Structure 1
Amino acid sequence: MKNIKFFLVILVVAFATLYSCDSDDVKDLTVDIEAPSNIDLIYNITQDNTGLVTIAPSGKSVSSFEVFYGDGTGESTVLSLGEKAQRNYSEGSFPVRVVATNLAGQTAELTKNLEVSFKAPENLVVNVTKSASSNFGVSVSATADFETSFEATFGEDPAAAPLAFTEADTVDYEYSSTGTYTITVTALSGGAATTSTTEVVIIEDPVTLPLTFESATLNYNLIGFESDVSIVDNPDSSVDNNSGKVVRIQKTGSQVFGGVVVPLSRPIDFSGPQGFRMKTRSPMPVGTKVTMKLENADGSIASADFEAFTTKVSEWETLFFDTTGLDTSQPFSRFVIFFDLGNAPTGDINYFDDIELADGPPILLPLTFEDTRRQYNIGTNNGAFSIIANPVAGGINNSSRVMQFNRPPTGPNNFSLVAIVLDQPVAFDASTTFTLKVYSPRAGLPVWLKIERVGDGGSFQEVTSVTTSVSNAWEELTFTNFNGNTTEDLRNVVIFFDPLQATSSAETIYIDDLIKTN
């Protein structure tokens, strides 16, 4: 028994001794890890002026890096071995710092300056366009490679700050006077590097057709001879002429040829219409002669006289000057206007306004279809029109020309109509009345009159169900009871012929002399 106990004691001592020896042989593996070394930072800066920099840290005996960007934000990013960081910088010098750490927690660090400089923008293209609404306005846009934005100066005020814009923008500028100006556009890189180019723009305020005399900046340079001439406020703004400014002329002295020269900045372009319209207002009797002739810039070449005659007293009206026979190859650049040429001054004050090229006389009320020079804008529905010699002259209508409307057989709600666009709007009040001469193949034909805004049939004045009382004879229909609520620009005259009822056979209807009686 004692021997067994003694043996156990020996085993325990031996085990303890063995254990003690093994424990002495176990080592701390981190003791032999080298400290981080050979720390470096590699920078890759993109060449698109965005300032994007890729930062790649490297080193020996490193398990992770912490990169401090050095851009004043205090921000950093921890990277595993082999990872890279990206950061957008402005142009400048930045002390980027990296702290490298090994598995034992030992660290080493490096600070290395990052130099960011942007390249100058390339391929700068500038587009300068004149404003469509103002002779003094321009619009500028630009494109370039490697730009971040643009600045533009316009050469008028040296102290004015540049206007900034981007490639997606257009910047507008309004000059205060005519002249030649240099527009400078600078493409910015986001840093010091820039690229600039210039464009010369000539700001003109030419006197051209149509002549409205409304501009506050134009020098119309009217030249009166044997007359007193000026541009004044419109003395009678109305539906026939609601302009703010018009020309006033009064013959003076004893000569019969008092008039005014109206110069243009360049010769008239006759590639389109070759006649002229002009609004006039005269207190003189109906039939007073108004004369227009054309001259070149120095008056050495002159056209024949072209005449028109007034039809109203002390009201605005539009006269047409038929220039048939005019040599349009000549550089005509000024008008000469006379009122009552050939007669001594009477003291009357006349006005004119809105000189423009035109193919024919204006389409106005009353509609008579007599003037073959008029160019009508006419549309139809469920029918066809033509302007012809009056085939049924007699009775109350001996006009030489009328409108014929051919209506085919139609079903109900057919809305057979003819629509005629006027050049001036129609004014209404509660007592407005129209008359229309109609030649119908049957009595009881309903005729409607509607005057609406062009392109907007929802704004209108309308009278319906005025019916013919005789067949195969001219009669005059009267349209009353309009509501009088005038809507501006009611110029589309629409005449319906029995628009709701079906007819089994075709009908030919004639109309003439649409007159606004009050």
Structure 2
Amino acid sequence: MKNLKFLFVSILLVFVATTSCESDEDTDLGAAIEAPSGLDVIFNITQDNSGLVTISPSGVNVSSFEVFFADGTGESEVLALGQNAERMYAEGSYPVRVVATNLNGDTTELTKNLDVSFRAPENLVITVTESSVSNFGVSVSATADFETAFEVTFGEDPALAPVAFMEGDTVDYDYNGTGTYTITVTALSGGAATTETTEVVMIVDPVSLPLDFESTTLNYNLINFESAVSIIANPDISSGNDSASVVSIEKTGTQTFGGVVVPLSAPIDFSGPQNLRMKTWSPMPVGTKVTIKLENVDGSIASADYEAFTTVSSEWETLFFDTAGLDTTQPFSRFVVFFDLGAAPTGDVNYFDDIELAEGPPILLPLDFEDPNRIYNIGTNNGGFSIVANPVPDVVNSSSTVLQFDRNATGPNNFALVAIVVDQPVVFNSNTSFTLKVYSPRAGLPVWLKVERIGNGGLFQEVTSVTTTVANGWEELTFNSFTGNTTNDLRNIVIFFDPLQATSAPETIYIDDLIKIN
């Protein structure tokens, strides 16, 4: 027992002695620490006019720094030795204060002015392009180095505020009239420094295709010969032509070749379609000849005559002129239009409008698939289509050409369909009906007819209750009592084949002669 007590006392004494020794050493080290000195702060301003500043304090005998940003926020940041702070500044001068602290809590501080000034933007390049949707429109974009944003004015209205935009943006502007205007683009630095450049643009209203005679600022310079010609209000606004303005022409005198020259501002671009379409209205008998030919600017080079024949009287229709053989390398820049060329004047007043280049004739009702020049815009679902020779002509349908729809074997709710876009909106009233010739491999095939707005199938007129009664033979179905939620701008004709039921095997269906009644 005595030995144990002695050992315990010895250990206790050693512990106390050791503790006492360490305490003395700490007191000596604290007394040796000097106050912070040699303070400095370096400002590194990012050279992109963003205002980002890196603040790097330094000093001797420092354990931490507190940086007071002096930017009006009252904010500061504590940094360990070797750390730095980042801060966004506007252009200006700022008395940044740095307080250094040592391990004893002693402090020393330094105030140093931070001067932030942005460099003027460099390499400013502006791009001005013609609008794709307006003869009076332009689109402006810009790039530059060291810019933070851009502003643009268009030189038309001095009271109009500049439009701000960023690099990568495009600003569109439509002028109110023709003229010469100065577009000014200013590159901003984020501060007072700016860089500016200008570009002069001439806004003109060119006479070019498609030609609709609707401009109120343009002089079309129509040249009449042996005729009376003028641009007038459309005398028969209808689904065939809802334009406000058209050209009126009447042969006068005794000559048979009365017509009109329609000049263009530049030669026709034949890099795309090369055939022509034009809307006409004539009170003359069905089959009246309408002639177009092309000439260069002075008429010294002329094409052959291209002819089309009216199919209605006292109604608007779109005629197609097949220009096969046309030398498209010639600088043709004007049209010559004749009605009833070669026949004596009759006193009839004819009208024309909307001259355009086109691949083929317009796609219009009725749809009979007989014209090989027509280029159809057709889509399908759960099947494919082709325009083929009538496989089974009979008394119901003796047409030469029909549309074939090959329906896949599908599950229910398959919505097998063919959709055909027409160029002229289908007009509906309370009495509108359609007939359609159908050749089905089975009786009892439900056929739906829907006419909808392009791009929005939720706006439509539709009939869903017509069913075939003949297998392997042509029959004519009638669609009436349409239901829907609009009668405007309906150009997508959709025909469904048994859309709710499954078929275990593929089947081929033919359709022809879609005719609108009323």
Normalised-by-shorter TM-score class: 0.7 to 0.9
Q: 1:58 to 1:402 in 2, by over 3 A?
A: closer
Find the residue that maps to 2:385 and give its secondary structure: strand
Cα deviation per residue 1:119-142 (whole Å; 9 max; x = unaligned)? 322233333333332232223333
Distance 1:109 1:400, change over 3 A: closer
Q: Which has the larger radius of gyration?
A: 1
Aligned 8 A contact 1:437 1:477 in 2: yes
Query: 2:43, 2:54 within 8 Å by CA — same for their partners in 1?
Result: yes
Structure 2 residues without counterparts, runs of 5 or longer = 1-36, 101-107
Contact 1:211 1:355 survives alignment (8 Å) = yes
Are the counterparts in 2 of residues 206 and 265 from structure 1 also a CA contact under 8 Å?
yes
Letter in 2 for 1:449: L
TM-score normalised by length of structure 2: 0.76
Q: Deviations over 1:29-61 (max 9, x none)?
A: xxxxxxxx999998776655456778999999x
Counterpart of 1:401, as a letter, is: T
Residues 157, 463 of structure 1: alpha-carbon distance in 2 compared, 3 angstrom cutoff: closer
Check if 1:422 corresponds to 2:386.
Answer: no
User: Are positions 1:369 and 2:406 aligned together?
Assistant: no
Query: What residue in structure 2 maps to residue 297 of structure 1?
Result: 297
Contact conserved, 1:451 with 1:462, CA < 8 A, in 2? Answer: yes
Q: 1:54 to 1:480 in 2, by over 3 A?
A: closer
Letter of the 1:245 partner, please give it. Answer: S
Q: Is 2:362–2:423's contact at 8 Å kept on the other side of the alignment?
A: yes
Q: Could you tell me which residue of structure 2 aligns to residue 242 of structure 1?
A: 242
Alignment partner, residue 218 of structure 1: 218
- With 438-447 and 366-375 compared, the bigger mean Cα shift is at 438-447
Native 8 Å contact 1:453 1:491 kept in 2: yes
Mapped partners of 1:403, 1:394: distance in 2 = 16
Distance 2:163 2:503 in 1: 69
Q: Secondary structure at the match of 2:355?
A: strand
Secondary structure of residue in 2 paired with 1:490:
coil
Corresponding residue SS for 1:197: strand
User: Residue deviations 1:232-269, cap 9 Å, x none?
Assistant: 33333322222233222233333322222222222222
Q: Report the AA paired with residue 380 of structure 1.
A: T
The corresponding residue for 1:490 is: 490
TM-score, normalised via structure 1 length: 0.76
Deviation (angstroms), 1:302: 0.9
1:185 paired residue number: 185
- In the TM superposition, what is the alpha-carbon distance from 1:86 to its structure 2 partner? 8.8
* C-alpha displacement of 1:80: 13
Distance 1:113 1:452, change over 3 A: closer
Which residue number corresponds to residue 392 of structure 1?
Answer: 392
CA shift in 2, pair 1:402/1:199, >3 Å: same
| Paired residues for 1:37-436 under 5 Å | 47-49=47-49, 117-156=117-156, 162-167=162-167, 170-407=170-407, 413=413, 415-436=415-436
Q: Higher mean Cα deviation, 172-181 or 265-274?
A: 172-181
Q: Is the 8 A contact 2:230 2:248 kept in 1?
A: yes
Match of 2:511 in 1: 511
Q: Percent identity?
A: 77
Counterpart-to-counterpart distance in 1, 2:245 and 2:234? 5
The letter of the residue matching 1:234 is N
Aligned AA for 1:450? K
Amino acid at match of 1:402: V
Which residue identity lines up with residue 283 of structure 2 in the other structure? Answer: P
- Following TM superposition, by how much is the alpha carbon of 1:323 offset from its aligned partner in structure 2, in angstroms? 0.9
Task: Tell me, yes or no, if the aligned pair for 2:459 and 2:485 is still in contact at 8 Å.
Answer: no
5+ residue gaps in structure 1?
1-36, 101-107
Q: Tell me, yes or no, if the aligned pair for 1:248 and 1:351 is still in contact at 8 Å.
A: yes
Cα gap change, 1:48 to 1:391, in 2 (>3 Å): closer
Q: Give the match's secondary structure for 1:283.
A: coil
Q: Which amino acid aligns with 2:183?
A: I
Aligned residues: 489
CA distance in 2, matches of 1:323, 1:127: 38
The worse-fitting range, judged by mean Cα deviation, of 86-95 and 428-437 is 86-95
Q: Match for residue 34 of structure 2?
A: none
Say if 1:70 and 1:275 are closer, same or farther in 2 by CA, change over 3 A.
closer
Report the CA distance between 1:371 and its aligned residue: 0.9
Alignment CA distance shift 1:115-1:295 (3 Å): same
In the TM superposition, residue 159 of structure 1 has moved relative to its aligned partner by 7.7
Structure 1 CA distance for aligned equivalents of residues 59 and 383 of structure 2: 93
